[in-house]
Amino acid sequence: MTDTSFVSHLECSASGERYGNDRLHGLSSTGAPLLVRYDLSAVAAAVSKAEVASRVPDMWRYREFLPLPHDRARVSLGEPMTPLIHLAGLEAEIGAPRVYVKDEGRLPTGSFKARGLAMAVSLAKYHGKTRLAVPTAGNAGAAAAAYGARAGMEVFVFTPEDTPDVTVREIAYHGARVFRVNGLINACAKIVREGTGHMGWHDLSTLEEPYRIEGKKTMGYEIAEQSGWELPDAIIYPTGGGTGIVGMWKAFAEMEEMGWIGSKRPRMFAVQAEGCAPIVRAFLEGAEFAEPWENAQTRAAGIRVPGAIGDYLILGAIRESNGGALTVTDDGEGP
């Protein structure tokens, strides 16, 4: 069988420079995230909404929009479509017409990191990698460890020293080698970057390889399909490294180009913790890039990301959508 995917090329998110789909990519030559591009007219000829609707309800039902060649083995632990749960009580409390939460906790290892890592590890395996490494505040490490184990690969995880014990043990139980680092996630990321050469690691850091976004964007496809291909008015998203917002925004553009949805977009809102809010600060200042946040502190470990390499992509999606960015305290108090 031949390798079948609809990927046409990869594109630097900053300069637009094109890259071939013939090898495993990291960042662009200028150090910016790469985005995967598809031949969407070929996809449109190959698959319909009705066809997608007839498939198994998991993230792979959107396979024509995903970078793994269709005849290649997925590294999968079963990634179900997650439900939109209607929150009637909250609607009454805040006076909103319709509120749903997408329960991403039902994915393997308990977070939506599974979507991105299922895809990134699948591509790493396809390209013959045997050693993975990831810096993480916790959930990405658990997912990398689980999917790496599934693929029979060695996994190295670096996590801030104050990462909860339960998370460190979860990663270790999956068989990964996990190290607590004297610093925050950016210190962990530096170790991983430096080890790609002599340790032979494939770097799975957020947006440093282009495939986690592709997995994560399936949230956008699911929301569209579950809403009858009519997007909601607003999406409120807990924002760390930004693969979710950037991925969903990319999914919406792809679906519109396919003619599967109209031009209506949700207003995209990034929510960050009061003690670590670089994107919110940059948004309020009208800046294109976010300065790193000093002394990042929050109990919400998954969003304790003081600096995001895709900051301009997150801010771009928020602004283009006429959305916003806001903080909450660790006790859940809004602004």
Q: Which is nearer to ligand PLP, 139 or 321 (CB)?
A: 139
Going across the sheet that includes 202-203, the strands are 177-181, 154-160, 131-135, 202-203
Q: 209 vs 67, 97, 117, 203, CA distance in Å? A: 12, 39, 11, 7
β partners of residue 235: 268
Judged by CB under 6 A, the stretch of 76-84, 190-198, 221-229, 241-249 that binds ligand PLP is 241-249
Contact 242, 311 (CB under 8 A): yes
Q: What's the closest the beta carbon of residue 113 comes to ligand PLP, in angstroms? A: 5
CA contacts within 13 A on the Cβ side of 207:
24
* CA separation for the pair 313, 198 (Å, rounded): 31
Q: Which of residues 128-167 bind ligand PLP (CB under 6 A)?
A: 139
Q: CB within 8 A of 273, min separation 6: which ones?
A: 297, 298, 299, 300, 303, 304, 327, 328, 329, 330
Applying CB under 6 A, among 206, 298, 321, 327 the residue interacting with ligand PLP is: 206
* 5 part of the interface to ligand PLP, by CB under 6 A: no
Phi, psi of 175 (to 5 degrees): 95, 5
Residue nearest to ligand PLP (CB): 302
Distance of alpha carbon 222 from alpha carbon 219, whole angstroms: 5
Asked whether position 316 contacts ligand PLP by CB under 6 A, the answer is no
Query: Quick one: which segment of 43-51, 238-246, 255-263, 319-327 binds ligand PLP (CB under 6 A)?
Result: 238-246
Closer residue to ligand PLP (CB): 110 or 195:
110
**Is residue 244 at the binding interface for ligand PLP, with CB under 6 A as the rule?**
yes
Strand partners, 80: 58
Give the residue from 13, 6, 81 showing the smallest Cα distance to 243. 13
Supply the minimum distance, in Å, between the C-beta of residue 300 and ligand PLP: 7
Site size toward ligand PLP (CB under 6 A) is 13
Q: How far is the CB of 258 from ligand PLP (least distance, A)?
A: 23
Among 117-125, 225-233, 239-247, 287-295, the segment contacting ligand PLP (CB under 6 A): 239-247
Specify the stretch interacting with ligand PLP by CB under 6 A; choose among 50-58, 119-127, 146-154, 234-242: 234-242
Q: Which two tokens stand for residue 181?
A: 């680092």
Helix or strand (DSSP H, E) at 35? strand 34-38
Which string of DSSP letters, residue by residue, matches 278-320? Answer: HHHHHHHHT-SS-PPPTT---S-GGG--S--TTHHHHHHHHHH
Stretch that binds ligand PLP, among 6-14, 20-28, 63-71, 236-244 (CB under 6 A): 236-244
Binding window for ligand PLP (CB under 6 A); candidates: 39-47, 197-205, 240-248, 322-330:
240-248
The Cα-based distances of 182 to 91, 162, 179, 185, 187 in angstroms read: 43, 9, 10, 10, 8
323 scored as a contact of ligand PLP (CB under 6 A):
no
CB 290, min distance to ligand PLP, A: 13
- Interface with ligand PLP, residue 298, by CB under 6 A: no
Q: Which one of residues 240, 266, 306, 323 is an interface residue with ligand PLP (CB under 6 A)? A: 240
- Asked if 111 touches ligand PLP (CB under 6 A), the answer is yes
Contacting residue, 76, 243, 298, 327, with ligand PLP by CB under 6 A? 243
> Which residues form the interface with ligand PLP (CB under 6 A)?
111, 113, 139, 206, 238-244, 302-303
